[in-house]
Amino acid sequence: MSVSIMAVPILQTFTSVHSANCISYRNLSCKALELRSSSSQAFRLRTCSSRFLQRKAYGSSSPSSATTSVHAHVQQEMEHPIQLERTKFQQVFQDFVIPKFIPPFCHNRNPLGEEANQAAQQWYHHYFGSTILPETFEKIKKGNTQILPISNHPTAELSRLEWAIEFFFFMFVIDDVVECKTHFDKHKASAICSAFSNLWSRATSEMPEEWSLRFTRILQEAVLAQFLEARYLLEKKHPSFSMYLAHRKEFGYMDASLAIIDYVDGVFLPDTLHYSSPMQQLLQASGDVICWHNDIYSFQKELANGETHNLVILLSKEKQISYSKAAELVNQMVFDKIEEVQSAITDLRVLTQSNKEITVAQRAAIKQYIVCCTSFISSTHEFHTQSSRFQVV
């Protein structure tokens, strides 16, 4: 099944759940555009909206003219496939040195984590047990996926923490499906849509519409980015370093993973604060740290699988340096971004102290965002060093 056909049933669920929750997608673009003042940001939102409508029209395996137009700027940066000599893997792995990294922030696991994880596994079996290959769940379970939400949300109540773990399970399922790691058919598409509808209805029924609209846009961008990356993999073409760097957070669900803070942790950050300069710096820099750190640890597995969507691999090729040296450079990029995270935290604290219009609840929300972002950075390192997901099979 082609990537374009795969996109249809999954993306269609956005429209159906909007109707069920009295949120019209037709009104989304106008409302979402009101949330941002930057012309470049507004253009990005308009592009996302048009991509969604164009993708819904897909009905064959060959790209439509609309698709060609949407991705023309990306295709221009595509290079010839990188030829990997599998016979040299063993030597490459022996020579590769993971650079030293000490998490700059502390984190604590939510004490309700085990109970929430057990409930989330039951949810997984309910929606995916008879449709998604058993190996997918075993990979998720052995990979300790639950470490991330349990550590990212250390004070969340049980039901919200369970939802967070289920959401991460859902994202990992999508990741495996769109990268063709598991066979895809209409039954799996139906299961994915049903699971998403369940997650969506539970969250939006308890949150302001302002958050629901924001979450909708972020999810659409995340899912569309997954199909975009899958198309590159299927066509065996590879992005330039600069192109991949620009899209890395989208490929990694970072905006979506951070957008759930409001619901999971029982806070609400209005758009005026969410899209403020220091908050966006915190979110974007945190996302970069997490995704770039991931590429260092996933390098060996992705190289072995013939994948080149990895900063270490692409930087090594662009600068004609060893993989270990490229990893050192990526690691330094991570440290530089951590400084941006710390700077953003300082600016946010100054903002909450100086702006008297910020309410007590909003101050609490900003504080929770800081806790969750810094916890995510540290728990990511724990996940990368302990998860079987990054082992070369």
194-224 pLDDT tens trace: 999 999 999 999 999 999 999 999 988 887 8
Is the predicted pLDDT of residue 243 greater than 80, yes or no?
A: yes
Residue 50 has a pLDDT of: 41
Residues 220-244, mean pLDDT to the nearest whole number = 80
Could you tell me the CA-to-CA distances from 6 to 85, 122, 163, 178, 329 in Å, in that order?
31, 26, 25, 8, 36
Cα angle, residue 10 at apex, residues 8 and 13 outer, rounded to 5°: 105
CA–CA separation, 322 and 382 (whole Å): 26
Residue 222 has a pLDDT of: 85
Structure tokens at 5: 């056909």
Give pLDDT tens digits for 301-334: 888 877 788 999 999 999 999 999 999 999 999 9
Residue 61 has a pLDDT of: 35
Give pLDDT tens digits for 15-52: 444 444 433 333 333 333 233 333 333 333 333 334 33
Residue 240 has a pLDDT of: 84
Cα angle, residue 370 at apex, residues 106 and 221 outer, rounded to 5°: 115
Dihedral (C-alpha) 30, 34, 36, 37: value to the nearest 10 degrees?
Answer: 110
Residue 382: which of 136, 107, 116 has the closest Cα? 107
**Better pLDDT: 338 or 226:** 338
Residue 327 has a pLDDT of: 95
Give pLDDT tens digits for 165-176: 999 999 888 877
Residue 19 has a pLDDT of: 44
Tally the C-alpha atoms within 13 A of residue 241's C-alpha that lie toward its C-beta: 14
Could you tell me the CA-to-CA distances from 135 to 139, 183, 305, 370 in Å, in that order?
6, 12, 17, 36
pLDDT over 90 percentage in the chain: 47
pLDDT band at residue 390 using 50, 70 and 90 as cut-offs: low
**Better pLDDT: 315 or 13:** 315
Is the predicted pLDDT of residue 387 greater than 70, yes or no?
A: yes
Residues 6 or more apart whose CB falls under 8 angstroms from that of 285 comprise 337, 338, 340, 341, 344
Give pLDDT tens digits for 88-127: 666 677 778 889 988 889 889 999 999 999 999 999 999 9
Amino acid at residue number 112? L
CA–CA separation, 231 and 237 (whole Å): 9
CA–CA separation, 256 and 219 (whole Å): 6
Is the predicted pLDDT of residue 58 greater than 60, yes or no?
A: no
Q: Are 228 and 194 contacting, i.e. CB atoms less than 8 angstroms apart?
A: no
Residue 306 has a pLDDT of: 78
CA–CA separation, 252 and 385 (whole Å): 18
Residue 85 has a pLDDT of: 53
Count the residues in the chain. Answer: 393
CA–CA separation, 267 and 248 (whole Å): 28
- Its pTM stands at 0.77
Q: Are 58 and 67 contacting, i.e. CB atoms less than 8 angstroms apart?
A: yes
Residues 276-293, mean pLDDT to the nearest whole number = 96
CA–CA separation, 295 and 65 (whole Å): 33
CA–CA separation, 87 and 304 (whole Å): 10
Partners of 238 in the β-ladder: 79
- Quick one: the chain helix, strand, coil %, rounded to 5? 75, 0, 25
Is the predicted pLDDT of residue 6 greater than 50, yes or no?
A: no
Residue 23 has a pLDDT of: 36
Is the predicted pLDDT of residue 12 greater than 70, yes or no?
A: no
Residue 179 has a pLDDT of: 62
Residue 48 has a pLDDT of: 38
Residue 194 has a pLDDT of: 94
24: DSSP letter: -
Residue 391 has a pLDDT of: 66
CA–CA separation, 389 and 13 (whole Å): 29
